[in-house]
Amino acid sequence: MRNIAIGFVVGVGVGAGGTYIYLQQNPGRLIRSTSSSTIWPAADPMRDQAIHDFGSPMSEFVRVYDSYAASYDPRTRTPKWVLEHITAKDLEGDANRNKSQFFEDNQIDPAFRATLESYKDSGYDRGHMAPAGDNKSSQKALNETFSLTNICPQVGLGFNRDYWERFERYVRDLTKKAGDVYVVTGPLWIPKPDVDGKWNMQHPMIGQPPGLIAVPTHFYKVILADGRRGKGSSREVGVGAFVMPNAPIDPQLPLTAFTVPLEPLEQLAGMRFFPNFINATRRSAMDQAALAWRQYGMQQLKPFDRVSLCQDMAALPAPSGQLLLTSGSSSPSSNAAMSSTSSMTAVPEHQISVPKTRSVAGTTHLCEIAGGCKLPPPGSWQKNQQSNKQLKGSSSGHSSGSSGGGSSGTSGGGGRPSNPGGGGRSV
């Protein structure tokens, strides 16, 4: 991977310093999360010898590829997090997804790895955490995004092939404003309260026991856009966190409605994001900004969408009351809009003042440097589909392991609608 310190980005798993050196010197390798030299609090020859002889339990693994690193969770058979570093250069080139195919990670113990067979006929897409489209500069790097270590079961129509795909394009567009974009993406399993107010977790599983793959209820992205070396007007670092349900999403819903504070997301995900950069002061400021931007998005929702989204993400705090923004951000129309947060009608966007949240120590909310966090228009996946069909039609008549993003495909790499299976859009 391109000299990314895991300790800088995700504050869990293996040690920061050692991992950084390891990633520089050992791309494509597997890092185990436990070590016999650190399992005991003090040296004990007998216990150390026992660990040497018998081994200590192994749980998570960090898998390192050229363009991303992934912490693989053998319990869910999905990544826990996937880390990328994206620049404008990565998006240039002629790497072709039609030359790629999904594959099982042979560095993971067969007893714990995700399998192609589990996705076949599952009804879910094989959804990339690190998108193939982030790696146009290298065919090898693009191919590696098709490892099942980088894949989670995702709802296809309305999500993976639509709203989530637009979100991925939005992230790529950030490279025009910031020189370096760092992204942590992963699955979430978020509980919901029942009628008695007790919290319950329910989610499907695919495959066959005991090697089942857990279907996430939600997905998150935490984005750090470093504008200090970018060509855009901003010279600050923008940070934003987003959580979306693994379900069809109305294309009209604003991205800001899915903005969340870092602190509760970190508690749900079980990790700290960018811990060497986001200190307590920055986190507090970014979390207040996130609530302001989420309130801005929620006000634009229709009543049913507003209630549904609040229920779906009940474990994450929703904005309440009038949040404190910087001076000059309020107006009579915005005050009226604020008071209608719980009203029965959506507030037109033009009647809502765009939040202007404060910058702290050279850090601001991502939406401040990214034009208000507006998604690109829908339709890219459909255009890619048509382009791939035309390309296949002009070829020799078959596509081995095509990954052009079919609505359903074989477990070996997808893209062929005539074969029902695990799908696999790749953008």
The residues carrying an active-site annotation are: 128
Do the beta carbons of residue 190 and residue 315 sit within 8 Å?
yes
Binding residues: 160
* Nearby residues of 423 by Cβ (< 8 Å), 6 or more positions away: 119, 124, 125, 126, 156, 160, 406, 407, 408, 409, 414
Q: Is residue 210 reached through a cis peptide bond, with omega within 30 degrees of 0 on the bond before it? A: yes
**Cβ of 356: how many Cβ atoms within 10 Å?**
14
Q: Is 412 helix (H, G, I), strand (E, B) or coil?
A: coil
Which residue reads 């950069």 in tokens? 277
Smallest CA-to-CA distance from 82 within 99, 63, 98, 55 is with 63
For residue 157, the 8-state DSSP code is I
- Residue at 222: amino acid letter: V
Smallest CA-to-CA distance from 411 within 142, 104, 159 is with 104
Question: C-alpha angle with apex 253: 250 to 259, nearest 5 degrees?
Answer: 125
Binding residues for Mg(2+): 160
